[in-house]
Structure 1
Amino acid sequence: MSRLHKMSIQGIRSFGNRDQDTQVITFFSPLTVIVGPNGSGKTTIIECLKYMATGIMPPGAKTGGAFVHDPKVAHDTEVRGQIRLLFQDVTGHNVQVQRTLVATQKKTNISLRTLEGIIIREGINGEPIQITSKCIELDKEMVTAFGVSTAILENVIFCHQEESNWPLSEGKQLKTKFDDIFAATKYMKALELIRKIRTEKLQTVKISRAEIGHLKTYRDMLVQKKRQYAEIDERRQTSKVNVESIQLKLEPIDSRLEFIAKESSKMVDFQRRMDRLTNECEALKKKIREFNTIIDEPFQGSEDELKLLISNFQRDQDKKKRELQDLEAKKLTTERQIKKLLDKRTSDTTRLGGYEFEEKQYKTNLIRRQQFVDEYIQNSSQIIDKTNLINYFDKQIKIEQKTLMEKRLFYQQKETNVQQDLDKYQEQRIKIESTIKLKSSQVEKTLKEIQDIKQQQKQIEQYLNKLNDLNKRIERKEDEYQQKLSNEINIEQLKIDISSDEQKRVQLQFQLKDLNNEIDNLLVNSKINTEYEMFKKEKLERDEQIRKIKVRHHEILTTIFQGSIPEEDSNIYNQFEKEHRKLQQNRSILEKQIQDIRQTLSGKEEKRRLLADELKRKDLLRNEYTDRLQEQLNGQIYEKYLEKLSNDVKQKQDDKGSIVGMEKTYQKFVNQVRSTLKTDPCCPLCYRKFDKQSEGEQLIRDMEIQIKGPEYRQKIDHDLILLQEKFEKCLNLKPIHNQLQDIEEKDIPTLKNSIKQLDNEINQLKNKQNDLEQELNDKICLPLEQCEQIKTDIIMLNKYINERKGFETKIHVCQQKIGK
């Protein structure tokens, strides 16, 4: 006898889903009494035992909200319920069973799924053997271990309190329950199987008797065939002897033919070899002629020297090949390094653009925060200290968070109460709907049974009329019989009448049997007709539900399917899933494209910003160089100013040279005149004699007057030094002038063109981004939201379509049965 030991419950109904909420119930022998107030979990223990023993959940628990711990109460989206049971099976061994359920909170309902079950038994040597539900049927194993049928476990031992009034149910339902409990159906099936086997065996006997006659005919034919076979065998033996003698004669001929065949094959091989060698010889001669035409200077050395040269050449060639391979490897390595550096530069530029974009966003957020703070301070009725503004906001946030938590707890409690009421109403609604369905089905069945009874009553009345006619005929026959007995007894005639009456009685019994069979067929057909009408009604309901869903979402389906809804209802779900996946893939692709465009745009904007900064720097540098040049050139052109300074310096140098030469010439002339005044006064140039010495002195004074003084020469030197300094400064400004020309003619136009090109690319990227975002919002997100909106109804539509197919199959089966 099986016996319960322990059971642990976690995450079932009112039992919590945490490890510390696990409850262990110990069962005592011979009796365990479970006592507690309402809602403490007494019924839950019985439900858990029933679920562990049979795998059947309580009524209304298939959605998970009525059996597994509510995820809303647990403040989690997923709750795991686990039950473990330790008991002793009918063989006296301990068995441990574990079942696990997972309830997931969806948007509108709770979905329930069953995880893998585990059963642990004791092995031969007492070691534990663990088997999962993937390897065995856990429900059947539990029934075998308890030694009691599923019907007794479900309806007697672990019967739910809502189903405990089944003994008071309708007759047919009650009969079904008792048949399941006492396994009456098995015995009925066994009897039917015995009858069927008996009928088959009788049929087999009839067939065997018929086959015996055929077998006798076959036996006679076999005897005749055996005689014919003996005659044929004698002829065969004679032919065999003749064949052996002929084979002995043919053996030397065969050996000779084999020898000739071998020799001919050798000859053929030799001929092929000779042809091949001839072809090779011709090819070698042709190559030799080709080589002779190619070789300009034949090698004069020996064959060994030629081989040595060839080996040296091959060695050098191999060395060059290795060097070439090394260089190619170095080239590939260098190209990879260059590619890595380019990729790194690109990624760094992209990251820099991203960082700049984040910096802009951060600065924008700071400005917005400051504006919000200023507006809040202006709108606030309290006096707020800006130095302690963060502390003030922290206090306000804490106060608001506390208020929010209180409101959240209040509304959560309210939501829990509403959910409990809603669950109660749902349970009541389910019970009422099931009662209505049961009553309506019972009413329909009762009406159909009444119609069947009426038909049977009409048939019985017909049979009664026939029976009355038969009784009247019997009475007439008896009267005739009595009259004949009274008149004259004719034994032979009586025997004939009795035999005829007996035959009529047998015929009437056969007719009665046929009528009974017909009644049984009519009953079966009425049952099939009832099922047919019921299935037809269910199919019409599914058609109406499908039609309502299609009408309700016709516009959305038309939009999703691009104006053509599939004609076959069975293709709607598959097409919807295909379009849904396609929309999700397109959304991912567009989002990735938009993200790539944003990154590229950020990199382009960062590059444009760098180019703008560079352009600004070049402008500043150009202004600086222009100011420096204008300061030195006084608004003149650099080349002309430099040429003018060069000409002025040359002019001053020429003036200085001419003055110095003139001074020396005049001084020499004065000295010569003075020297002549002492001895022979005359002009040193023309040798004109002076009449008086005073003339010579007057000439000296005139010459000294013509000679400019040192002040004039110092002035020229000073002017020359200034011009040379200006010229040197102007020469020093030449690199600046060249740089300014490069900036104005090359750098600034190049930067402006690059910025203009980047502006065009940025505008194109922004337009493309706007187009993609518009396409994402209009063509992807909106249909995707519509898909999510009608997804539940489409799933229900597919369910109704599958149910309709099932009903159509059942209707077809019923039609076939009715046709039979």
Structure 2
Amino acid sequence: MANEKEVKAQVKLRFHAANGQRMLAVRNLSVTMKKTAGMTMKTLESILALDNGNPDKSGKEDSYWPLAEASILKKKFDDIFEATRYTKALESIKALRKERVGELKTEKERLESLAREKGHADKLRARISDMSASIAAKEVEKFEEGAIKFREIYLRVENLEKEKEKYQEELSELRANVQETLDTDEQLAERIKNFNVYIAEQRDVRRREEANEQDKEDELTAARKKHVELNEEHGQLIAEAKAQEERMLDREALIRGMAAQFGIRGFDASPIERDKIAEFTLKLRSFLAQQTAEVDQIQSEIHESNATFNEKSREFHSSLERYKQKRADYRSRISKLQPNIASTESKLEAAEMLDADLLNVVSDIEGKKARIEKLKTDIASANHDDRIAELNTKVRVMEDRRDGLTLEIRTFGLQADARAKLTLHQRDLASKEREIKNILQVSNAKFSKLVGTDINTDTVENDVNAVVTKTERAHADIEVECNLADRKLHELEASSSSLKNQLTAKREELKGLEKRLRDGLEGHISVESATKEATEEINYLRESLSKSSESIELYQKLLSYGKTKQSCQVCNRHMTDEEMKPFESYLNEKIKQTSPEARLEFENDLKSWESALEGYRELMSYESSIRRLKEVDILSLEKQIHTQDQSLPSLAETAEGSVNSSNLEWQANEKLQALKRELKDLASLRQHAINISRLNSECKDLRKEISNVENTLAVTGPKKTADDVQQELDELSIELRNTEKEKQNLQNDRERRNNILRAHETELHQLQLRETDLRSQVREREALREGVEAMQLEELDAQILEGQGPIDSLDQEHRTAHTELNARLSQAQQAAQELIKSADKLEDASKLIERYIRDKRGKKLQDCADAIARYEAKIQEYRLEIEEIRKTVAKLDKEINEGGAALTNLRENRRIRKLQSDIQVTQKEIESCDLEGAAKAKRNFEEKYQPEKDRENEMQQKSAHIGGELTSLRAQLQTLEKDLGDYKNINKKYTDQLVKVKYHSLKMEEVNDTMRHLWNKTYQGTDIDGIRIRYDGEGGASKRSYNYRVVMTKDQVEMDMRGRCSAGQKMLASIIIRLALSDSFGQNCGILALDEPTNALDVENIDALAASLVDIINERKNHANFQLIIITHDENFLRKLGRSDVMDYYWFIQPVGALL
């Protein structure tokens, strides 16, 4: 085949089907070289001589078609559903057909029952005709002429009595609510006629009064505004008057205070008159002039005193010059002694702090001594020398030990290989033991929960396998039972839903009929009562019509006889003129009631009642239908629903143990999901158990190896490893360094404390020397202090010799005289200032008071008060006028508003008079009737009329009842015939529609159930809980199309599997999907052919695929129609399958003529 661009080959497979028939499968393949040095293989054709089913056949190039893109998956599933002949749906279709046949039989029985009822209705119709003829014959019969006359007279008298009573009642009601007038009828009519003109005049008067009221309101508003302004002005004037009174009181108080202050008498009385005030002002001015003169006098005395002082001062200054010369001599002597005094004073000032410094030095010496003693005690207690000696001994011991370990390390070089192997084994053993420990920590709780015991590393795998087998068996049993019960439950719920829909429709029909019945009855209690009332009215109207033609002649004869003879022909009683009026009125009314117009009205009423009677008879059919719905149809449906509701809990218990029917499916799924999670946990636990068993076995082997190496090393040397010795040497080196460091710290601490002690001793010696110096300086200070005092005494003696004494005395005398004069001047000036200030106050107060008087504010206050009083009177006057106008307007409003009542009162008066006249006329008519003859005719009428009337009513009721039943049965028959016509070809239509709608969903659910079961059985991982095929419908029921996709679930979350799964998961999912499709659509030929299933898989995925295929074969090897064919070049894959003992036959195929 070298150098060939295309190579074609044919593969043939001959086998026997499940029914023993021999089969042959042929596949034509083609391999083509690509331009890029690759190859492309494709299938040319496939010939499979099988039955008409649709087996799943996929070559290597399309073995992953279940995870292909959506368009390929859709095409594949569409081909599968088109090629299938709906074999599994036939059983459910037959059951549904059987159910529809039963319903058809029921409808036929109902049709026969309605036919019987129709015959009964025909009989009833014949009876109705007979009864109608009898009624017509009875209507022909007439009563005797006396009875007819009696009824006319009696009814006439009765109607007249009723009319009279009605008139009297109206009259009494009117008199109770109407005020009667004494006007004549003409005056009353005139008042009613001119009433509107009178009301219009009253409205004009009211408008004029309203205009007048508005004018008065405006005047009142203006007066109130002026009144408010005057009140504001009055308040302001009152405030000014009060302020004037306060100013006058303040002025009087000021005058009395000034009089008391300055000793002016005669002004203590209150009030002070204006003359007194003027007199006080003059006296105050005179007193002020005197005080000013006194000030001038004191100032002149001061000038004289100053002149005298200046003269004496000049004399004393001349004497002072002499003293100054003497003082200069003394000062020259003092200046010579001054440096010694200054230096001595500075020494004394510097020596002032010697006492404090001495005390401080003494206290410092005491403190230093105490600290030195404490340091000596601490050094002695630290025991540095002994501790340092101990550390030196310890260091020597550790150095000897270090030398020994170094020697051991040298010897380890001879056993490096053996010890390295021992170290490696020990590390591996520790690692595996840690791994076992970690697995035990993770899985112990789950193992105890699922298995019931603690983990035993020797038997853990067997324990887990036993629990897994048991749980899988229980899961399969429960799943089968739940699926069966769930299917029955869904069928029962569908039936219950259908019955409930029928019940709802019946109730809606019942509501509609009841509504139509209520609308047709128009307030009557029942159809029977309405029919009875209509029948009575029709009879009454027919009798009235039959007697009206004869009654009018009778009434005319009686009226003519009464007018001629002035007597009643019936009772043969003579009547006066007053009695004739009611008699004539009554007979005229009766003649009017029996006139052609009244007869036409009776005929219209008769037609109306006959139409109503026909409507009531139609309502009888509605009443019959309502009774049938309530008593038969609805009760039957409710019983069926109740029976099915009672059977739901038992079926739910079968499906789920003890669950409510409302959440049956949810709890069943929950239980299955719990078992599924338990199986996943067991699968994970089984993997852990396998790992534990493997690690435990490896640990046993490692322990044996370690024991052998240690025995070998025990013969040739110590059992320690080089790492152990090196670790010990490192620890010893660290300890030695720590000891050296501790020794150095002790030495440093000893040196530090000794240095501190020496420093304190040096400071103590310096303080003692300082104390000696300070004590000598104190003694020198005392001597200097004595010399300074002596020199100061000499300076005072020199100053005394100066001539300062006369000058000081002169200055003192001058200051005393000047002080006295200034005090007198200040006192006089202060008195003058107080007088001026008081005079100014008095003048200011007088100015304000005089201005108030000059402006005549008091007169204005009185005028304002008089104006306010005038306006108050005017406002009150306006109010009274407005009130009178309002009363007039209210009276006019009342009269206008009650104009209708007044007009009504006038009209009611006219009506009262008419009623009185009608009562008189009616009474005359009553008196004109022959009641004695009427009573005799009444007895005769009662004896014959009532029995015949009862017979007539009974026959009419029977006729109406039978007519209603007949109408109801006809309507029911028409409805059922129409409903039956709707069921034409219903079985075929229902079957076709059910196949279209149900078959696809049933088959897809079946495929998904099989996939879920196979995945849980075969998949070893825990990252995917299951896989399923999702299908989304598009279009209507007649042109429905489906799109398909493969999804994987994890913790109830779905995700598209395409592009998200590994190669092994992809291969396993494809195999499971094809197996599920084979179970559902190829029952007679369950062949699964895998062509190169390990293509593009790594070793781990190949192992997982082999384990999964083993599980699938074990799961389905008992199925008679299951056949698995694997075509592969992977011999390792075949070996793994062969070890599991699941393959029956092997064929090694090679090209014809190839070399072996």
TM-score in terms of structure 2 length: 0.15
Rg comparison, structure with higher value: 2
TM value normalised by structure 1: 0.19
| Larger relative contact order, structure 1 or 2 (CA cutoff 8 Å, min sep 6) | 2
